[in-house]
A and B are shown apart, each in its own frame.
Chain A
C-alpha cells in the first residue's frame, strides 16, 4: 500500500464521514464546522489528482468565502440551538439499501466494460505551464472567452439578486 493510497483512503474517509455528520447532526453550528472539514478533505483529493491550483482555490473559495457565509447565516439565525425533530428520516434503512444496490450495480457494470481501463489517461502535472495554458484558453476567442464573459454577468446577477433579497429583509425590520 503506497503512501498515496493511504493518504487517499484517509482523506476519502474523513470527507465521507464529515458529509454524513453534516446532514445528520442536530446542532447547526457543528454541521457548519464539519462542512469545513468535508471541504478540506475534497481539497486533499484535488492535490492527489495533481490539480494543485484547484486544491488551493477550493480552500480559498469554498472555505474562505462560502463556508464563512454559511457560518454567518447559521450564527445569526435565531433557531441556532438544537432542534427537537429527529434529523434522520425513520425509513433511512430503505434509502441506504437502494443506494447500496445502485452503487453495486454501477461498479459491476463499469468493471466489466472492456474499454474502461483505456479511458484513463496520464494526468498531466499541474505546473506553471498548465496554468498559463489555462489562462490563455480562458481568453482565447476559439476557447472559453464567451463563457468567461458570461460568468462575469452571472456573478453580477448573483450579487445584485442576493443583495436585493437581503435588503428587502432589512426593510421589513
Chain B
C-alpha cells in the first residue's frame, strides 16, 4: 500500500513540476517590457476606483456551509457503500434514516428561502 502512495507522492511532485517548468521556460522566452498602464488592473478600459474588496454576500457562506454538511455526510456514506453487499436490510434502513434526516434539513432551509441566490 505504501508503494502505491509513494507513486502518488512522486506523481504529485512531477505533476506540479511539469507546468512550473513550462511556465518558467516561457517566462525566459518572452519579452519583458513593464509599463504602468499595462500593469494596472483591468476594468473594461476604465481606471479602477476604490480598494479591491467586494460587498459581503452571505449567500456564498450559506452555500459553502450546506456543501460542508453534505461533504461530511458523504464521508459516512462511503464506508457504508463499500460494505453494502454484506449488510442486512436493517442496516440499510438505518442509513436511509440518516439520509432522510439530512434531506429534512435541506428541505427546511429550502422552505425558509435561504437557497435563493439573492
Contact = CB atoms under 8 A, between A and B. Distances in A.
Contacts of A69: 61, 64-65, 68
B108 to A, nearest CB: 6
A130 B69 CA distance: 25
The 10 closest A-B pairs by CB, nearest first: A135-B83, A135-B79, A156-B105, A139-B91, A65-B68, A134-B79, A132-B83, A152-B101, A152-B98, A69-B64
Contact of B58 (A47, A61, A169): A169
23 contacts: A3-B6, A53-B79, A57-B75, A65-B72, A66-B68, A69-B64, A72-B60, A125-B1, A127-B1, A131-B83, A132-B79, A132-B82, A138-B76, A152-B99, A152-B101, A159-B65, A159-B69, A162-B65, A163-B66, A166-B114, A167-B58, A167-B112, A170-B58
B2 A138 contact: no
Contact of B118 (A128, A134, A170): A170
A77 B56 contact: yes
Given A64-B71, A65-B67, A155-B102, A50 B61 contact: no
A56 to B, nearest CB: 10
B68 A135 contact: no
A80 B9 CA distance: 34
Nearest to A166: B58
Interface stretch (A17-25, A95-103, A106-114, A143-151): A143-151
- Dominant secondary structure of chain A at its interface with chain B: helix
A139 B87 contact: yes
Interface string A60-77: 110011101100110111
Contact of B69 (A73, A131, A139, A158): A158
Nearest to B79: A135
Contact of B53 (A66, A78, A131): A78
Interface of A: 3-4, 7, 44, 47, 50, 52-53, 57, 60-61, 64-66, 68-69, 72-73, 75-78, 80-81, 125-128, 131-136, 138-141, 145, 148-149, 151-153, 155-156, 158-160, 162-163, 166-167, 169-170
A140 B79 CA distance: 13
Given A72-B64, A125-B1, 18 more contacts: A57-B75, A61-B68, A65-B68, A73-B61, A76-B54, A80-B53, A126-B1, A131-B82, A131-B83, A132-B79, A139-B94, A139-B95, A152-B102, A155-B102, A159-B105, A166-B114, A167-B62, A167-B112
A155 B98 CA distance: 10
